[in-house]
Amino acid sequence: MASVVYFSNMAYSAYESDQTLPRKFQRQLEKSGLGDKLKDKNVAIKIHVGSEIGYTTIPPVFMRVLAQFVKDHGGNCFFTDHYVASRHPEHRGYTQESLGAPVLDASGHLGKYLYTKDVNFKSFKHVDVAGLIHDADFLIDFSHVKGHGCCAYGGAVKNIAMGCVSDRTRREQHGLEGGLKWDKDKCTHCKACISACNHQANKFDDKDEYSVDFHNCTLCQHCLKVCPTGAITLTDSSYRDFQYGLALCTKTVLDCFQPGNVFFINLLINITAMCDCWGMTTPSLVPDIGLMSSWDLAAIESASLDEIKWERLNPEGVPTGITMGDKGHLFERLHGKDPYLQIKCLEELGMGRKEYQFEMVK
């Protein structure tokens, strides 16, 4: 049986405020059954507060609708993320007055309120779960969908795996990135690999050691192909370990909640090439799609990716000078990594299934 994904698209048939996406969102929440689960619960709503001058994080009107819904159904809620105070959410309109609930630092003001869970995947050993999220009765994972340099796609999984944990856990997950290795003994320092990279992903440091920024690297292999001595080769893991690490971290956070006490909402508007943590806003890659929600993590991620179609690409959303790949999902063509791999990892770890059916909410 396919899992239900509630979906409100952008289409409208009359000039009425009732057809605006936040109103459809209200109706979607009513339909989802979420209201029956909230009475007397402390509800953590995980968002991304954004940073600097970026303006495409979740608009406050959607968050206000959600906070009101939780309160109307007998719950207490707060919005949360990491580094809240230093990223000034009030600059993007996120205040208690505008949202109807406070915006709190998930690991406390000093970032030290954490619960450590052990994991064992290569160099990834610790998931330090943010204290306020760990202590909540219920989690609503409210994500703005966009691209991501390290894993191609940033949605519900990324919102948890990178946002509900400590710096140490983020570092350990990033430590799984990879795909290329360099053999110092074979390198003649001709720098052909640097000229061949049109993603500014590789460099030689002060000590003439070669390094790759895997956030920017699309694994296009141009560097590898131009190298006259075979000094650059592919590793076995490629970027797959990072995708698995994200899924494993997500599972560890979600295991802190009773079954049925986590709900997922993906907002598919302003879908940009990079994550909101960059503090910048670029043109959308595709026209706005709408809003989805589900009780099934793999299903909502799969449905979100399927709706971001290559055929609808707005070329202005792609940085000037970047060469897109010629196969796979739009995000794979842009970032060189298969975004569906995240979903395979979710299924492997028992976090839902990719088969979904839409229940449309107008």
CA distance 344 to 149: 19
Q: Is 80 in the site for ligand SF4 (CB under 6 A)?
A: no
Q: Which of 191, 287, 322, 362 binds ligand SF4 (CB under 6 A)?
A: 191
Kindly report each contact of residues 201-206 with a partner whose C-beta sits within 8 Å and lies 24 or more positions away, as own/partner.
none
Given 104, 133, 151, 219, the residue binding ligand SF4 (CB under 6 A) = 219
Is 323 a binder of ligand SF4 (CB under 6 A)?
Answer: no
Total of chain residues touching ligand SF4, rule CB under 6 A: 26
The phi-psi region of residue 310 (left if phi > 0; otherwise alpha if psi is between -120 and 50; otherwise beta) is: alpha
Q: How far apart are CA 124 and CA 119, in angstroms?
A: 7
Q: Which of 158, 159, 217, 164 is nearest to 193 (CA)?
A: 217
Q: Which residues pair with 153 in a beta bridge?
A: 147
Closer to ligand SF4 by Cβ: residue 37 or 222:
222
* Span from 5-13, 20-28, 127-135, 181-189 in contact with ligand SF4 (CB under 6 A): 181-189
Q: Is 188 in the site for ligand SF4 (CB under 6 A)?
A: yes
Is-contact 303 187, C-beta < 8 A? no
Contact between 190 and ligand SF4 by CB under 6 A: the answer reads: yes
- Does position 337 bind ligand SF4 by CB under 6 A? no
- Bridge partners (DSSP) of residue 286 are none
Least distance from C-beta 21 to ligand SF4, angstroms? Answer: 36
Residue selected from 112, 189, 309, 362 as contacting ligand SF4 according to rule CB under 6 A: 189
Binding part of the chain for ligand SF4, among 218-226, 251-259, 343-351, 354-362 by CB under 6 A, reads: 218-226
- C-alpha to C-alpha distance for 362 and 28, rounded to whole angstroms: 8
Residue 340 DSSP SS3: helix
Residues that bind ligand SF4 (CB under 6 A): 187-193, 196-197, 199, 201-202, 210, 212, 217-223, 226-227, 229, 231-232
